Amino acid sequence: MAKQEVESLTEERVLNTDIEQLVAYFVEKFGVEVPELDFENATATEHERNIEVHDRWDDRWVSVKGMAIDFEIPFSGEADVFKMRPDTWDTNPPNATIKGQSVCFSVAARELSEEQVTQSFERIKASLIQYLGWHETLWKGLPGQLAAAARGQIEHRRERLLKQKKVASSLSTIGVKLKEKPGDAKTFTPPAVKQKISPKLPPMKKARNPEPTLDAAQYTTIIGLLSGSIESIEQSSRRMRELDEESLRDILLVPLNSHFESAKGEAFNFSGKTDILIQHEGSNLFVAECKFWKGEKQLLEAIDQLLGYLTWRDTKTALIVFNRNRDFSQVRKQLETAPQKHPNYASGPTSIHEAANQFKFTLPKDEEREILVSIIGADLGST
């Protein structure tokens, strides 16, 4: 059939269509798709039915009321395969009928037990599977055979047509103009491979707004502004250096708000008593905690508190430690060594200022997520 259809194609189709695409078309059209049974969606109906039974006394068949269960098993593939006998077969094929894309059979008797129904169903099911397996073996080599036959026939006809066109084109040498036929190919050389149509991307869903994040340059700017403010406080009058935590925090907010703007007026606000944060549309971009130095234990607790505020999106933070002890040099050393004892410590310190170092900690709720914490010491002098 494939050979006959190749011969029925127009000259334009044969000359101007990629050979492999034509081969694939014929393989798909004339190939055999062996049915695949869908047992998971099999259905059954139970009803009363007249059953033919043998009357031994009168030696005749009579019709009596009995029970029947009708099964339907849907399948994909070609229904005509069920009408064919495979090369391998037996004398007891499955007894069923085909209705559309379903295999139908019945189990009937004057009386039916659960065991009888199960055994009958399993027997017919096994027979169907066996016969379809034989068909799979029979038709397994067909695609390759079809492809070879179609390719050979297409190439043969193309060669014949091109040779014919070459002869016809030579008429110009004797002064005869060749009249074009409707639908005739404009050129007689093998065409380029037909381009496949590029698939269109599916319609796009409205994307969620990306979560805001703070880039490294802005973070460096913020730490620089905080460090500069702290230096100004350290060099200021005794009265300023004796301010409480909340007042000191408000002083730190001044240069931050003068440098960063937002639609709400102030980019930096505070939450609770000591937090400094920058927010965008309700999400925290930067969090800082202000604490007075009260020893190593309290420093580790402050780190705990800071990490506890954070989510996986908050990766850049700061801890500002105000000191009113006499020996600030010793405090600075402890600000470098104590964080390394924290259970979530990852790396550091990296010096960024005379009294400021950066550390990396892991997030308690997500150990794969690293948090950058700048610990900045501020010497307010002894009181």
Asked whether the beta carbons of 49 and 108 are under 8 A apart, the reply is: yes
Looking at the fold, whether 36 and 160 belong to one and the same domain comes out as yes
Looking at the fold, whether 182 and 254 belong to one and the same domain comes out as no
* Number of domains the chain contains: 2
pLDDT score, position 313: 60
| pLDDT reading at 326 higher than 70 | yes
Identify which has the larger pLDDT, 77 or 355. Answer: 77
Q: Is 211 a member of any domain?
A: no
Q: Which residues have a Cβ under 8 Å from the Cβ of 102 and sit 6 or more positions away?
A: 72, 73, 74, 75
pLDDT score, position 247: 78
pLDDT score, position 50: 86
| pLDDT reading at 315 higher than 80 | no
In the chain, % of residues over pLDDT 70? 78
- Spatial distance between the Cα atoms of 65 and 29, rounded to a whole number of angstroms: 48
| pLDDT reading at 204 higher than 60 | no
- Spatial distance between the Cα atoms of 157 and 15, rounded to a whole number of angstroms: 9
Rounded to an integer, the average pLDDT of 195-207 is 36
- pLDDT band at residue 273, thresholds of 50, 70 and 90? very low
List the structure tokens of 184.
Answer: 């005739």
Give the residue from 147, 174, 205 where a domain finishes.
205
Rounded to an integer, the average pLDDT of 78-85 is 92
pLDDT score, position 190: 35
Q: Are strands 316-323 and 283-292 parallel, antiparallel or unpaired?
A: parallel
- pLDDT band at residue 122, thresholds of 50, 70 and 90? very high
Looking at the fold, whether 175 and 220 belong to one and the same domain comes out as no
pLDDT score, position 233: 78
Closest by alpha carbon to 374, among 340, 337, 348, 343?
Answer: 348
Asked whether the beta carbons of 374 and 318 are under 8 A apart, the reply is: yes
Q: Is 186 a member of any domain?
A: yes
pLDDT digits (tens, 9 = 90+) for 173-198: 555 554 555 554 443 333 333 333 33
pLDDT score, position 199: 35
| pLDDT reading at 56 higher than 70 | yes
In the chain, the DSSP E strands lie at 36-37, 43-55, 60-76, 97-99, 102-109, 268-269, 275-280, 283-292, 316-323, 345-353, 356-363, 366-379
Rounded to an integer, the average pLDDT of 71-86 is 93
Identify which has the larger pLDDT, 142 or 279. Answer: 142
Q: In the 3-class helix/strand/coil scheme, how is 49-71 assigned residue by residue?
A: EEEEEEECCCCEEEEEEEEEEEE
| pLDDT reading at 10 higher than 60 | yes
Rounded to an integer, the average pLDDT of 371-383 is 83
| pLDDT reading at 207 higher than 60 | no
Looking at the fold, whether 363 and 321 belong to one and the same domain comes out as yes
- pLDDT band at residue 136, thresholds of 50, 70 and 90? very high
| pLDDT reading at 16 higher than 60 | yes
Q: Which residues have a Cβ under 8 Å from the Cβ of 319 and sit 6 or more positions away?
A: 288, 289, 291, 302, 303, 306, 373, 374, 375, 376
Looking at the fold, whether 162 and 234 belong to one and the same domain comes out as no
Looking at the fold, whether 165 and 26 belong to one and the same domain comes out as yes
Looking at the fold, whether 186 and 55 belong to one and the same domain comes out as yes
Give the residue from 171, 205, 239 where a domain finishes.
205
Q: Is 278 a member of any domain?
A: yes
- pLDDT band at residue 130, thresholds of 50, 70 and 90? very high
Phi and psi at residue 99, to the nearest 5°: -125, 105
- Spatial distance between the Cα atoms of 7 and 26, rounded to a whole number of angstroms: 13
Rounded to two decimals, what is the model's pTM? 0.43
Residue range of the domain that includes 95: 1-205
Give the residue from 205, 238, 261 where a domain finishes.
205
- pLDDT band at residue 9, thresholds of 50, 70 and 90? confident
pLDDT score, position 365: 78
Phi and psi at residue 214, to the nearest 5°: -105, 125
Looking at the fold, whether 27 and 174 belong to one and the same domain comes out as yes
Q: Is 355 a member of any domain?
A: yes
Looking at the fold, whether 14 and 57 belong to one and the same domain comes out as yes
Identify which has the larger pLDDT, 163 or 377. Answer: 377
pLDDT score, position 114: 92
| pLDDT reading at 279 higher than 70 | no
Long-range contacts of 133-141 (CB under 8 A, 24+ apart): 134/86, 134/87, 134/88, 134/89, 135/34, 135/81, 135/84, 135/86, 136/34, 137/86, 137/87, 137/88, 138/86, 138/87, 138/88, 139/32, 139/34
Looking at the fold, whether 178 and 145 belong to one and the same domain comes out as yes
Rounded to an integer, the average pLDDT of 286-311 is 84
- Spatial distance between the Cα atoms of 347 and 32, rounded to a whole number of angstroms: 66
pLDDT score, position 118: 94
Identify which has the larger pLDDT, 332 or 381. Answer: 332
pLDDT score, position 266: 37
Q: Is 312 a member of any domain?
A: yes
pLDDT score, position 186: 44
Q: Is 183 a member of any domain?
A: yes
Identify which has the larger pLDDT, 349 or 282. Answer: 349
Looking at the fold, whether 140 and 231 belong to one and the same domain comes out as no
pLDDT digits (tens, 9 = 90+) for 237-259: 677 667 777 778 777 777 777 76
Looking at the fold, whether 229 and 254 belong to one and the same domain comes out as yes
Q: Are strands 366-379 and 316-323 parallel, antiparallel or unpaired?
A: parallel
Q: Is 210 a member of any domain?
A: no
